[in-house]
Amino acid sequence: MNVAVAKTGNGRAVSDLFASAEGRLPGSPSVIAARREAFETYERLGLPHRRIEEWKYTDLRALVGEVLPLAAAPDAAALKRAADAVKAHAIAGARKLVLVDGVFAADLSDVKALASEAGFRTLRETLEKDAGLLKTAATDAVIALNAAMATDGVVLDIADGAQLSAPIQIIHIATAASASAFTRSQVAIGKGARATIIESFVAAGASAYQVNDAVILSVGDEADVAHIRLMDDSPDAVNITSQFVTVGANTKLNFFNMTTGAAVSRLQGFITLAGEGSELSVNGVNLLQKTEHGDTTLVVDHAVPNCVSREVFRAVIDDRAHSVFQGRIIVRPDAQKTDGKMMIRALLLSDEAEADNKPELEIFADDVSCGHGATAGALDDSLLFYLKARGLPEKQAQALLIQAFVGEAIEQIADDDLREHVIGIAERWLERRQ
């Protein structure tokens, strides 16, 4: 049945797209062969739709329809716009790695400053040798499409024991309207290393574009890592991101994601706790308005005993927006003493706002502590009245309470400059609804 569906419109359009893009895709002949294979997988599956369980709430055929042609490599004018965007979105003190329309922009990046603390290559360089980075543990249609089409990305190697003196900020900038960017990056963090990795997605004058990103992150034993993703794409863009995370023993990984942009977005994360004694904290924030659709789908796989995972997912949903959270916690038979908790909190600002939450626990061990909870509701009328009685107009009173709701997640970001930056993005989202 899927095969038959895939052969209709969508599959054909992408097929043409791949043929026209193939000559511009980097890689050795064996890499190109791997791409073609990945693309065939995509063609066979087609864009995910609601009859595929994992995509039930995010039917890309209905929401997106077609994949746009590959963006052209940025010209001088595009790079100029991107440079302005870098100024606007760079986090004070962070070392920047900039991708413009899916192509690494060395002139806008801090490669030299980074060199003393981390190994760096581009995906393009890596693919000249082998196709390893195009392979991932899990795959589906959008991941296969990414493997087929990825033009560039950053490949970071943070050595054992490295203590990064500054955060690394990977900035994805879209300058090309009505085009697609495919990026794939790898971050390998060594044993005992300490690092803050930030990913920002922004537009520089572009509209109605599509982003398909993949990230492969491995965190070594005893490492301490903050991973922050700030998706603030243009309100009419599409952002589909897949992340593959492997966590070693006795590590601390704090992952924070905030979605404030894109008409349609999906962040799908596959996190495997592969070493004992590790602590994973996930904080997700979806700020959605108008008819935006924001999906966060996370699979946390406790493969070994004695790990703790904490997921708190917050959504603020206005107008006719739609927030989706699917969280699965898997506890493998050996993973005794697992402590896994998941909490979903939705704030609905309009009668037409929608939140779909699907928590799932798959527990194969018998000595574990796992749970999930969910709340959904409007802003508290008694708090709103108190603020209004003190002189705040309705929208401002709402804004203060929304900030407080989101602030609980943002407060957990330790770095002051980074936290201020994130607060700024949330405030701009609030201004857009005034």
Structure tokens of 421?
């930056």
Nearer to other proteins, 46 or 284 (CB): 284
In the bound complex, what is the minimum distance in angstroms from residue 258's beta carbon to other proteins?
16
Residue 41 neighbours by CB under 8 Å, 6+ apart = 139, 141, 144
Alpha carbon distances (Å) from 104 to 21, 371, 395: 17, 42, 41
Structure tokens of 146?
């990414």
Sites for other proteins among residues 378-407 (CB under 8 A): 380-383, 385-394, 396-397, 400-401, 403-405, 407
Nearest Cα residue to 347 out of 376, 367, 372, 370? 376
Site string for other proteins, 407-426 (x = CB under 8 A): xx------------------
In the bound complex, what is the minimum distance in angstroms from residue 381's beta carbon to other proteins?
7
Nearer to other proteins, 38 or 348 (CB): 348
Region of 325 please: left (phi>0), alpha (psi -120 to 50) or beta.
Answer: beta
Nearer to other proteins, 106 or 378 (CB): 378
Alpha carbon distances (Å) from 15 to 42, 182, 265, 349: 10, 16, 23, 41
Nearer to other proteins, 105 or 387 (CB): 387
CB 226 within 8 A of CB 196: yes
In the bound complex, what is the minimum distance in angstroms from residue 386's beta carbon to other proteins?
5
Nearer to other proteins, 281 or 403 (CB): 403
CB 189 within 8 A of CB 214: no
SS3 for 254? strand
Nearer to other proteins, 148 or 258 (CB): 258
| DSSP secondary structure, 382-431, as one string | HHHHHHHHTT--HHHHHHHHHHHHHHHHHTT---HHHHHHHHHHHHHHHH
In the bound complex, what is the minimum distance in angstroms from residue 133's beta carbon to other proteins?
41
Number of residues that bind other proteins (CB under 8 A): 23
Part of the chain binding other proteins (CB under 8 A), chosen from 15-23, 34-42, 95-103, 376-384:
376-384
In the bound complex, what is the minimum distance in angstroms from residue 402's beta carbon to other proteins?
10
In the bound complex, what is the minimum distance in angstroms from residue 285's beta carbon to other proteins?
13
CA 216, CA 232: separation in Å to the nearest integer? 21
Does the protein bind other proteins through residue 367 (CB under 8 A)?
Answer: no
CB 332 within 8 A of CB 303: yes
In the bound complex, what is the minimum distance in angstroms from residue 79's beta carbon to other proteins?
38
Nearer to other proteins, 252 or 388 (CB): 388
Question: Can you give the binding site for other proteins, defined by CB under 8 A?
Answer: 380-383, 385-394, 396-397, 400-401, 403-405, 407-408
